[in-house]
Structure 1
Amino acid sequence: MGYQALYRVWRPQNFEDVVGQKHVTKTLQNALMQGKISHAYLFTGPRGTGKTSAAKILAKAVNCVNPQSGEPCNECDICKGISDGSIPDCIEIDAASNSGVNEIRDIRDKVKYAPNVAKYKVYIIDEVHMLSIEAFNALLKTLEEPPKHVIFILATTEPHKIPSTIISRCQRFDFKRIPPQAIADRMQHILNNSGQAYEEEALHLIARVAEGGMRDALSLLDQAVSFSENKLTVQDALLITGSISQQKLNELAMAIIEEEPEKSIQTLHDLLSEGKDPSRIIEDLITYFRDLLLYQSSPGMKDYLERAIVDETFIRLAESFAKDRIFHIIHELNRAQQEMKWTNHAKIYLEVYLVKLSQGETETLNSSVKEQIDLLNDKILSLEQEIQKLKNLKTSQPYEQEESVKKQSTHPIQKGTFKAPVGKIENILANATKQNLHMVRSNWGQLLEKLKRSHSALLNDAEPVAASDRGCVVKFKYEIHCQMAMNNGEFVQIMNSMLTKLFQKQVELIGVPEDQWIVIRKSFLSQHRDLVKGQSNEQTEDEPLIEEARKLVGEDLLEIKD
């Protein structure tokens, strides 16, 4: 018999051999021991995690003559026949090459026949997501109510492509990626049994590259063993997997921390001359700096490191790098990785970013300068507001005598630098409606989003309080903000335009400070009390609760809000 790949020779033959899927195997074993076997199962998960192997083990376990604690004995004729594929009662179907409705109809016609040898006829449909919609529809009824002697096991790597009507008819088991340590332990067990010498670190390197897939790990191990002479070494594993050695990663990190662009480029070209792929180099660098950050945060988390080996150089680098610098490096490397995906010159991008990272002080300085500029801009804006306030105070002084006369008028307004147009506000109040105000308030957030940042900042503490078909009154919490807004011609023009578009009529924005709004509103209500009272009575004819409140506190103290 010819040579067989390791993943075929060491395929699990019982649930105990399935690595990293305890939550699946334990559930199936308990179900078998308790006799609670379902008619349909759905196994989902990444490639190489044991879905098909678990399906064949389940097929053996339900038909085994001498089961032991939910495990197949692997000694009886049925177990051996299912393992070597000689028993016709365990049918494996590749949905990728049998995706049509005719193949499923053929299955539907044959399920009614009893099994030849075994107790159950088991259908294992691999990559079931490849079936067509018509094929899924043909499978529906049979999958929901198959004959008592039939069990369906569906396996897929893409469960989101399976109709929910199929998923709801199955017991679903999600296979997860296998931890690197579990993969390394399994490979160690295989090599020990085969008598192959190895370096343990080489196995951990292969396990990390496999990314949670046991089949991928065993295929890489097979290649590495064939490449090695007498002993599987770390160098063999590095060459087979295309990974970068810890020494080279340390050299690149050292060149960055010591700000030596020449050294970083030299190390990069050494790796490229060895045939390393630029995308693999940057991926290993990202993982390395992630490990550096993790170890720096908590040295006790060695087990969570994915790429780095904790040696003296690694520890020294962890002590040398500042956390902010590592954050910056990971961010830049991630950006370089994204840009390298869409270019034919990945090597050039990698060189540019390594030079950039090796000049970290410049980057940090630029970042600091940007922060300082932002702070200065904020201070300048604050000073401009104060200067405008002082100018307004100076302008208002000649009119202090006029203000004292106006205090005796019908609409007294407190002395200030901004005077709200009382006449316009009263005109709006006289024609204001709740529908108009509700329309403005419901669209207020959208209006603010359309404004420039400097304009929307003027309305931070403002809100619409009244609206008619010709105007909208906006109350400002602070008088200075109201004055700045209403004196800004561009802002007023934009707001008027947006309100006109909203109302489909010519509408004017009127701003009023909060203290002046209280006085104007109170004066307006006192002059139009009869009208307001009549409207209030009409609104509350059928509201006994409001009428009772009016009797208790009186009309003057009662304020009805929508």
Structure 2
Amino acid sequence: MEPFIVSARKYRPQTFKDVVGQGAITNTLLNAIENDHLAQALLFCGPRGVGKTTCARILAKQINQDGTEREDEDFAFNIFELDAASNNSVDDIRSLIDQVRIPPQVGKYKVYIIDEVHMLSQSAFNAFLKTLEEPPKHAIFILATTEKHKIIPTILSRCQIFDFKRITVKDAAEYLKYIAKEQGIEAEESALHIIAQKADGAMRDALSIFDRVVSFSGKQLTRKAVTENLNVLDYDIYFSATDLILDNNIPDLLLLFNKTLSLGFDGHHFIIGLASHFRDLMVCQHQDTHALLEVGEDVKQQYKDQANKVNKQFLLEALEKANACDLNYKTSKNQRLLVELTLMKLASITFDGEKKNLDFIIPASFFKTIEEKIDAPTPQNTPAKPIVEEEVVQKQPLAPANPVTASEEKISEAQPIPVPKIQIKSSEKRVSGLSLSSIQAKKRHENTKAPSINQEDLPKENFAEETMQQHWNDFVQQLEDLGRKILASNLQADVPKLKEENVIWIELPNSTMKKEVEREQSLMMDYLKQKLNNHFISLQITVNEEVAKKFAFTPEEKYEKLREKNPALDMLRKEFDLDF
């Protein structure tokens, strides 16, 4: 299909009657021209794309009809335009002042249109002020700006100010409808309203968007084609999301949001659109505010039907949560999770269960219960009288194990024996872990798990102290081989002694070493009990801090230890004047 492009320039307004949505301003200007009361300095201010420069050109043509060569021409020789965004210096204003002195060759006035006048520098404003205070009779200045607050007050005081407002969605949609009819394009009303909303009050942008969408979809302009081309979410997404929120259906709501993300939209776009949808539903709740709903007639009925399902309290709370998500979206580290939590809170507003706080969310067990109810068998499929069968199984005594006769075998072949149901014993009542009953239950469990062993059956052989010390050293060597050098060092701090018949005694220099040995003494005792064949051995550990003096820790103590072993070391140090 060949691209079909509508020329936006063709539908630009040529007269004040063609201006869309600016009736009050155009009527004022027409009356001023007719009565010859037009001010010599005009200021057009308003948002971008609302037609400030276009109205300035129409005004210049209206007061200088004789200076126009052709009817379709936008300017004449006595109409001058200056873009202050790129010509904001004093030299540019000086050049403009030089042109103002020359009277018009044809027509009555020379019109100077200065666009984006707030971009002039401070010195340029001062240079332009003198000419603006006392302009020649043949000069009219039309200043256009989007930021009136940036213009110095001395300039504002010498201008007649006209505030341009955004073109309403209804006016923009009606003009697009007129263009579509002129071009033979079949356009849905809701599609034109989406284009008008996307233009945000700028008719120039609305025409450009209309051109692009028509070149994409051809003579048939549908709402689906517009939403795909403009990358906006359709109304149906928000209608479906609201229905799921009212039904408290969190799983399907999260799946709908995931589907929206897969289409290329971000979570911020989704939550902003959902908040706008709630606003439109609130607008539909009263007959007098229906005019504030800027949608097509086909979609307006859908809004009215859904607005009847919700109450005002729900909409106020939903708007509050959606706006809070909008404010926190940019600062959030996990933006998707923020939107998902907001959706879950929205779906929990109308939940009938008990709410504990404002941020209540329906628990997941609620949806699990619903699935179990859906998956449960119907009463027609359940076996008849299950309680009677259980009672029969419980009351019948167990038959003795007798050999099966031939007659019984025939009976069993003819009629299958009913299989008794398996009965599971109910588990004991759970108790708290911080109670006496829990300790008793733990002991009962240990007794059933590990039956008690008769102490008289355990071996109890006598052993010598040297044998015990040899096995002690073997265990220490095994610890060093395994890399547990700290424990091995602690066990080597003293030579174990046989204090009584079955008591092994060691003396350690501090309590820290004692705690380390006591923590691991079970390994040592199990090893010695097996090697010495005596299960009645016990370990006794004492602490003697005076023993710690025997160990050298500081350099001085190490030097004293070495000097006691070899006195010649002190002579060597003095001979070479060494430090220790």
Q: Classify the TM-score, shorter chain.
A: 0.5 to 0.7
1:88 aligns with 77
Distance 1:311 1:104 in 2: 52
- 8 Å CA contact retained: 1:180, 1:207: yes
Cα RMSD over matched residues? 2.5
Distance 1:20 1:341 in 2: 35
Post-superposition CA distance 1:57-81 (Å, at most 9, x none): 010011113xxxxxxxxxxx61638
2:308 aligns with 319
Give, in angstroms, the shift of residue 241 of structure 1.
2.7
Amino acid at match of 1:324: Q
Give, in angstroms, the shift of residue 4 of structure 1.
8.3
Amino acid at match of 2:179: I
Distance 2:38 2:207 in 1: 32
Distance 1:189 1:144 in 2: 44
Distance 1:44 1:252 in 2: 40
Change (3 A) 1:113 1:350: same
Distance 2:129 2:223 in 1: 51
Does 1:303 pair with 2:303?
no
Amino acid at match of 1:302: H
Amino acid at match of 2:53: T
- 8 Å CA contact retained: 2:186, 2:221: yes
Distance 1:125 1:364 in 2: 65
Distance 1:56 1:369 in 2: 57
Change (3 A) 1:128 1:189: same
- 8 Å CA contact retained: 2:187, 2:222: yes
For residues 284-303 of structure 1, the aligned pairs below 5 Å read 284-296=273-285, 298-299=286-287, 301-303=289-291
- 8 Å CA contact retained: 1:122, 1:151: yes
1:157 aligns with 146
Matched residue of 1:190: which SS? helix
Post-superposition CA distance 1:90-115 (Å, at most 9, x none): 11111000011110011112211112
Amino acid at match of 2:238: L
For residues 10-159 of structure 1, the aligned pairs below 5 Å read 10-65=11-66, 78=68, 80=70, 83-85=73-75, 87-159=76-148
Change (3 A) 1:91 1:189: same
Distance 1:169 1:304 in 2: 37
Distance 1:111 1:142 in 2: 9
Does 1:184 pair with 2:168?
no
Matched residue of 2:135: which SS? coil
- 8 Å CA contact retained: 1:7, 1:218: yes
Distance 2:4 2:79 in 1: 26
Change (3 A) 1:189 1:278: same
Does 1:204 pair with 2:193?
yes
Stretch moving more, 301-310 or 235-244: 301-310
- 8 Å CA contact retained: 1:42, 1:173: yes
Distance 2:257 2:119 in 1: 43
TM-score (norm 2): 0.58
Distance 1:249 1:118 in 2: 57
Change (3 A) 1:312 1:20: closer
Give, in angstroms, the shift of residue 345 of structure 1.
4.4
Which of residues 343, 349, 371 in structure 2 aligns to 1:360? Answer: 349
For residues 291-440 of structure 1, the aligned pairs below 5 Å read 291-296=280-285, 298-299=286-287, 301-306=289-294, 310=299, 314-343=303-332, 345-361=334-350, 365-366=355-356
Give, in angstroms, the shift of residue 193 of structure 1.
1.4
- 8 Å CA contact retained: 2:5, 2:215: no
- 8 Å CA contact retained: 2:6, 2:214: no
Which of residues 252, 261, 265 in structure 2 aligns to 1:272? Answer: 261
Amino acid at match of 2:11: W
1:225 aligns with 214
Give, in angstroms, the shift of residue 347 of structure 1.
3.0
Give, in angstroms, the shift of residue 271 of structure 1.
1.7
Distance 2:259 2:61 in 1: 53
Give, in angstroms, the shift of residue 234 of structure 1.
0.5
Flag structure 2 segments of 5+ consecutive residues without an equivalent: 361-580
Change (3 A) 1:242 1:303: farther
Distance 1:238 1:196 in 2: 18
Number of residue-to-residue matches in the alignment: 356
Post-superposition CA distance 1:422-479 (Å, at most 9, x none): xxxxxxxxxxxxxxxxxxxxxxxxxxxxxxxxxxxxxxxxxxxxxxxxxxxxxxxxxx
Change (3 A) 1:316 1:57: closer
Distance 1:82 1:226 in 2: 25
Amino acid at match of 1:35: D
Does 1:246 pair with 2:235?
yes
Distance 1:105 1:24 in 2: 31
Give, in angstroms, the shift of residue 197 of structure 1.
2.0
Distance 2:255 2:324 in 1: 22
Post-superposition CA distance 1:384-436 (Å, at most 9, x none): xxxxxxxxxxxxxxxxxxxxxxxxxxxxxxxxxxxxxxxxxxxxxxxxxxxxx
Change (3 A) 1:306 1:330: farther
Distance 1:367 1:57 in 2: 61
Distance 2:359 2:92 in 1: 69
Post-superposition CA distance 1:28-81 (Å, at most 9, x none): 00001111121110000111111001000010011113xxxxxxxxxxx61638
- 8 Å CA contact retained: 2:47, 2:166: yes
Change (3 A) 1:302 1:217: same
For residues 414-493 of structure 1, the aligned pairs below 5 Å read none
- 8 Å CA contact retained: 1:291, 1:307: no
Matched residue of 1:301: which SS? helix
Change (3 A) 1:13 1:181: same
Distance 1:312 1:39 in 2: 50
Give, in angstroms, the shift of residue 316 of structure 1.
4.5
- 8 Å CA contact retained: 1:129, 1:156: yes
Q: What is the aligned-residue identity percentage?
A: 40
1:408 aligns with none
Amino acid at match of 1:19: V
- 8 Å CA contact retained: 1:284, 1:307: no
Change (3 A) 1:344 1:59: farther
- 8 Å CA contact retained: 1:44, 1:172: yes
Give, in angstroms, the shift of residue 236 of structure 1.
1.3
Distance 1:117 1:352 in 2: 69
